[in-house]
Amino acid sequence: GSFEGIAYAASKAGLDQFTKSLALELGNANIRVNGVAPGRIETPFRRQRAGQYFDFMLEQTPVGRLGTADEVANAVAFLSSRICSFITGETVTVSGGLSTVFLKHVNPDPLSRLGRHENDSGLS
């Protein structure tokens, strides 16, 4: 999931299921289908977009750093190699462990997006 990222999260889930379904359809033709889901990867755009939250972003990642494009490419090369001949329909997450933890940052007041607050009367 992704806080305030419903469309993004749904798209990611759709790609994961697309990968699985295509693997089912093409498996008999000995065609493997796998996906790679990059986590937070070091790019000029990422650093600029993160701004003041860059250090916070690093704290959230178990390995304490962003990934590199080469690390994502290595996952693609691995899945494309013959040593993976029995792997199909999978999505490999290259996230430095980020996908294994619940983010420490959650919206403390999720109803605020709706113009309401948790302590409003009438909410139980």
pLDDT digits (tens), the chain, 124 positions: 666 688 988 999 999 999 999 999 999 999 999 999 999 899 888 877 777 788 887 888 889 899 999 999 999 999 999 999 999 999 999 999 988 876 555 555 556 656 665 555 555 4
Helix (H, G, I), strand (E, B) or coil at 93: strand
The reply to whether 42 falls in a domain is: yes
Is residue 111 a part of any domain in this protein? no
The single residue of 1, 4, 6, 8 carrying the catalytic annotation is 8
In the chain, the number of structural domains is: 1
Contact in structure between 37 and 94 (CB atoms under 8 Å): yes
Q: Does residue 53 carry a catalytic annotation?
A: no
90 inside domain: yes
CATH number of the CATH domain containing 20: 3.40.50.720
Question: pTM for this structure?
Answer: 0.74
